A and B are shown apart, each in its own frame.
Chain A
């Protein structure tokens, strides 16, 4: 599942999968700005068939955090 998530990050942010590590943070690279953040949220909602709460959308500020938040919605890593 982590690989699926990594792939979604890489494709939506237009970066390589190697760049997607736990330490990857929002606004730390030009590719992950507010616009691609929303694209990322939309893709995550679709792919995992969920609808994240506002708090989670703005807290999803790193790859590690994404795994933590998605776990809350029943996605298992």
Chain B
């Protein structure tokens, strides 16, 4: 049974938002009504500008129930990028917080709570492959229109697998700490709907009082976090907080440094909580592996073992390969590519270099390409270098880790321009990168750039 059918007892709680509880019956009624308004004679594309709110969730589920294809985007998406995506994919519907913006060629068709559904005036015939359920962006807020194509089977298989290894039941009450359009955030929603659990929807962050008040008031049972959320939790003296309902923490979205892993591993014992360290990519819907919590102390620094139904292996080049029914159909960069079928056949080249220990646990030791992950966003350092070079007319050198990116230029006068380029193209948080002047760029004997040394010079190991 697919999670989007919401096939759970009607009176069971499904969503809590602003202190109000909505049952699976309420949610299904809302989804049913929306499904009727987005009915089309063929399969069409729907942009949803997401927030962690009920209308956003209901629109996503209506798209799945109605057999349409949803493309999830952040509601704070930058105007020019949004316009570009509308031009490239010309969706039939655009769902957004009411009155967010006027889009030329679209008229308002429906409102649901504080969201509006806008419909394209000039209808175009469908180009969509029948299996295509969802488009997620790989590059977050960057200017690239590249999307991951996910099928209905991808979504259901990953939701089931996650619910299985996290041992989710209808008693769970996760709180939303991650954006819904981000694969990890969405996987929390999907897997818990599959289990018939109750989602506590909030837009507040761990740094606000309202967030912690909601955890106490609604007896939240789990928090999902990317590395920076765990840094925040530690600084907030999470260890000293009294949160009796909380029993599970999950972590993904980039490598959590060993110090923090140990800190939370220790904490889970004193607080009687489970702490799951996990690994995944949007290309695999979300999750590929996890460390069973009872093994965490012995396997610190590992990405664990494959999730139920999946398989990990290392190829001749040392690259980590994942196989499973959650592997995407492929990428799309234009509308016509939405008609393509599954090009991966359940096999994903992760781009990560890995090793395996005697117990079968996998460890990431490097990357095929120079990628870093900032706030869960995958960034190709070579792309950043090329982009900056184009803008400042001089070579730039880029290194980084999953916390911070460092860019080095050989003319101090170009620092400002390089900074602006990164901000406007990648929309990175200003605290997540630095641009500095470096007179001499370290090189290997071969003349190639010594990125390893550059990385340690910048304190970015």
A-to-B contact residues, CB < 8 Å: 12, 14, 26-27, 31, 33-39, 41-42, 53-54, 57-59, 61
A35 near B228: Cβ-Cβ < 8 Å: yes
Q: Which residues of A contact B241 (CB under 8 A)?
A: 54
B431 near A57: Cβ-Cβ < 8 Å: no
- When C-beta atoms are compared, the residue in chain B nearest to A13 turns out to be B430
- When C-beta atoms are compared, the residue in chain A nearest to B206 turns out to be A34
A58 near B212: Cβ-Cβ < 8 Å: yes
Binary per-residue interface labels of chain B (187-224) against chain A in the complex, 1 for a CB within 8 Å, 0 otherwise: 00000000000000000011111001000000000000
Q: Kindly list 18 other residue pairs between chains A and B, CB separation below 8 angstroms, not including A12-B431, A33-B429, A34-B208.
A: A14-B430, A14-B431, A26-B207, A27-B208, A33-B205, A34-B207, A35-B375, A35-B429, A35-B431, A35-B432, A36-B431, A38-B228, A41-B235, A42-B235, A53-B237, A54-B237, A58-B208, A61-B208
Q: Which residues of B contact A57 (CB under 8 A)?
A: 207, 235-236
Q: Which residues of B contact A12 (CB under 8 A)?
A: 431
Binary per-residue interface labels of chain B (212-249) against chain A in the complex, 1 for a CB within 8 Å, 0 otherwise: 10000000000000001001100111001100000000
B-to-A contact residues, CB < 8 Å: 205-209, 212, 228, 231-232, 235-237, 240-241, 375, 429-432
- When C-beta atoms are compared, the residue in chain A nearest to B209 turns out to be A58
Chain B proximity of A10: nearest CB distance (Å): 12
Choice from B207, B209, B430 contacting A38 with Cβ under 8 Å: B207
Choice from A14, A31, A58 contacting B207 with Cβ under 8 Å: A58
- When C-beta atoms are compared, the residue in chain B nearest to A59 turns out to be B209
Q: Which residues of B contact A14 (CB under 8 A)?
A: 430-431
- When C-beta atoms are compared, the residue in chain A nearest to B427 turns out to be A30
- A27–B431 alpha-carbon span in the complex (Å): 16
B240 near A37: Cβ-Cβ < 8 Å: no
Q: List 5 A-B contacts (CB under 8 A).
A: A33-B429, A39-B431, A42-B235, A57-B207, A58-B207
- A58–B228 alpha-carbon span in the complex (Å): 16
B237 near A34: Cβ-Cβ < 8 Å: no
Chain B proximity of A29: nearest CB distance (Å): 12
Chain B proximity of A73: nearest CB distance (Å): 15
A58 near B236: Cβ-Cβ < 8 Å: yes
Chain A proximity of B223: nearest CB distance (Å): 14
Q: Which residues of A contact B231 (CB under 8 A)?
A: 38
- A36–B205 alpha-carbon span in the complex (Å): 12
A54 near B236: Cβ-Cβ < 8 Å: yes
- A59–B429 alpha-carbon span in the complex (Å): 22
- A72–B312 alpha-carbon span in the complex (Å): 54
- When C-beta atoms are compared, the residue in chain B nearest to A55 turns out to be B209
- A19–B235 alpha-carbon span in the complex (Å): 27
A36 near B429: Cβ-Cβ < 8 Å: yes
- A35–B236 alpha-carbon span in the complex (Å): 13
A37 near B207: Cβ-Cβ < 8 Å: yes
Q: Which residues of A contact B432 (CB under 8 A)?
A: 35
- A38–B431 alpha-carbon span in the complex (Å): 10
Q: Which residues of A contact B375 (CB under 8 A)?
A: 35
Q: Which residues of A contact B206 (CB under 8 A)?
A: 34
Closest 4 CB pairs of A and B: A34-B205, A14-B430, A34-B207, A39-B431
